Structure 1
Amino acid sequence: MKRILTLLIVLAALCAAMTAQADDSWEKVQSSGQLVIGLDDAFPPMGFRTDDGQLVGFDIDAAEEVGRRLGIKIVWQPTAWKGVINSLNSNKFDAIWNGMTITEERAAQVLFTQPYMMDGQIAIVRMDEQAIKAHEDLGDKNVGVQAGSPALEAAKSLPMAPAQIREYDDNPKAFLDLESGRLDSVVVDNLSGLYFTAAQPGKFKALPGFITKEPFGVAFRKADVSLRDKVQETIDAMVADGTMGEISIKWFGEDITNPANF
């Protein structure tokens, strides 16, 4: 029995050593001099295009600072959000950094950092809407969500079932239909929802309260532990020295990146 136990311990140690040796994900990125990140580039305020095509947003600023500190270039790869995990695992890019909610289902497919921000799903309606005052009032209404996002499950979990849940490629298209009256509400993450309401004063308002609460994380392939750890280490340093807080204040008017407040 002792010999078997010893053999098992040795085999486990060898496997661990081989796994650690095989994980050269950070070395590959460092050697190439660039980290390719997949994102939905129509997801304000996390990552989106200005009228002149410039890519901006909270995640853009945060990732670019990580790249600066690590001495590598950040290369942004726009992709359809619905298949973003498949694209990551097909090696089309090295990471997903785009306000991605950490869920059990996703954590089974990718390797996440610790949460760098806490978000949640809310419901947005037109400013002149009088009949819809709470989440319960969305029963039998037409609700829009971004396809592949946590908003879909949040809409399904509303106290009263909507008449229809329409899926859109991105949130801006859903808000256009809300403005035109083709939708009664858009379920969206809190940060994006507040950004849309602030960017278009007098058009939209948020219903009180969260439908769900969700942490954001940066996603990597399961095997890319050393790359994840290097990015995590850098994010931790940015939180500690106040840089993440400064970026948060720039985009949200307050620091919502302090893990102590999650």
Structure 2
Amino acid sequence: MKKIVALLIGLMISVTVFAGCGKSTTSSDNGGSTLSKIKSAGTIVIGVDDTYPPMEFRDKSGKLVGFDVDVADEVAKKMGVKTKYVPTSWDGIFLALNSKKFDMIQSSVSITDERKKNMIFSEPYIYGGSSIFVRTDNTTIKTGDDLKGKIIGCQVGTTSQDVLSKMTGMKEVKKYNAMTDAFMDLANGRVEAVVSDPEVGDYYISSQKDKIKRLSAALNEEPIGTAFRTSDKDLRDAYQKAFDELKKDGTLSKISEKWFGNDIYKDKK
């Protein structure tokens, strides 16, 4: 009888242990949503590519700063939580989101139909796209058609790379892990043009207007939003609500003026 009881107890323990091992450590798998986990922890974890000024980058002291950082900090404050940032290489940032390395991405993510298959987005909070930057002494490149036969730079894994991949006739498309490296090579004549979001390029050349200029012609315009896992609609909605309140009370206008020198939210409150 004792052996039978012992066997039954052992079986019950084994079932309990294996059942426990089969569960994920994430809050959503344990019956709680990511939003409830964030509220309980008091912190929202955000993935960023910290090489993309003025959106998100390191200042001279090594501190993470930028438009996206200021926006995320204010939204989190409105939600009643703090922010924690996880710097992540752009070419792996979406995989890291779906692997639950962080709760969301606030890092100038262009909203595309392809990305919507694997993520959900906030409403667009800014509009970027694929603008063309050249040296100020360049007179041969005036539109996208003039990129044929040229060496062009872009950041790897971006929609600018996607746009360039659909074009033909270019001599080479050099892909950089950091946008700053692409502009450095442009200034030094190693590439003949760089394709990038206008905000990023404009910020980079603000102190180098004698070397680099942005063409009036662009390859496209893209809405930019905050990215979430498809299972985190409640988090996306809470984030959007806080964002809308900040736009209405003028907080986002102040952040825009700080980083861009103008209010991109004017007449949109």
Whether the TM-score (by the shorter chain) exceeds 0.5 is yes
Q: 1:259 to 1:190 in 2, by over 3 A?
A: farther
Cα shift at 1:76: 0.6
User: 3-state SS of the aligned residue for 2:132?
Assistant: strand
Partner of residue 231, structure 1: 239
Q: Distance in 2 between matches of 1:155 and 1:196?
A: 21
Q: Distance in 2 between matches of 1:245 and 1:33?
A: 26
Unaligned runs of 5+ in 1: 1-18
Cα shift at 1:156: 3.2
Partner of residue 73, structure 1: 82
Q: Which amino acid aligns with 2:262?
A: E
User: 3-state SS of the aligned residue for 2:216?
Assistant: coil
Greater Cα offset, 170-179 or 37-46: 170-179
Partner of residue 256, structure 2: 248
RMSD (Å) for aligned C-alpha atoms: 1.9
Cα shift at 1:193: 1.1
- TM-score, normalised via structure 2 length: 0.85
Partner of residue 40, structure 1: 49
Greater Cα offset, 163-172 or 198-207: 198-207
Partner of residue 135, structure 1: 144
Cα shift at 1:22: 5.4
Cα shift at 1:134: 2.5
Q: Is the 8 A contact 2:50 2:64 kept in 1?
A: yes
1:213 paired to 2:216: no
Q: Is the 8 A contact 2:56 2:107 kept in 1?
A: yes
Q: Distance in 1 between matches of 2:218 and 2:193?
A: 14
Q: Which of 140, 144, 152 does residue 153 from structure 2 map onto?
A: 144
Identity of aligned residues (%): 39
Q: Distance in 2 between matches of 1:246 and 1:212?
A: 27
Q: 1:259 to 1:136 in 2, by over 3 A?
A: farther
1:185-215 CA distance string (max 9 Å, x none) = 0000111011111132311001122211100
1:190 paired to 2:198: yes
Q: Distance in 2 between matches of 1:141 and 1:86?
A: 32
User: 3-state SS of the aligned residue for 1:91?
Assistant: coil
Q: Distance in 2 between matches of 1:56 and 1:183?
A: 28
Structure with larger Rg? 2
Cα shift at 1:242: 1.4
Partner of residue 199, structure 1: 207
Q: Is the 8 A contact 1:135 1:207 kept in 2?
A: no
Q: Is the 8 A contact 2:143 2:218 kept in 1?
A: no
Matches within 5 A, 1:38-187: 38-158=47-167, 161-187=169-195
Q: Distance in 1 between matches of 2:126 and 2:252?
A: 10
Q: Is the 8 A contact 1:23 1:223 kept in 2?
A: no
Unaligned runs of 5+ in 2: 1-27
User: 3-state SS of the aligned residue for 2:77?
Assistant: helix
Q: Which amino acid aligns with 2:226?
A: V
Cα shift at 1:259: 8.4
User: 3-state SS of the aligned residue for 1:191?
Assistant: helix
Cα shift at 1:97: 0.2
Aligned residues: 241
Partner of residue 230, structure 2: 222
Partner of residue 12, structure 2: none
Greater Cα offset, 168-177 or 250-259: 250-259
Cα shift at 1:233: 0.3
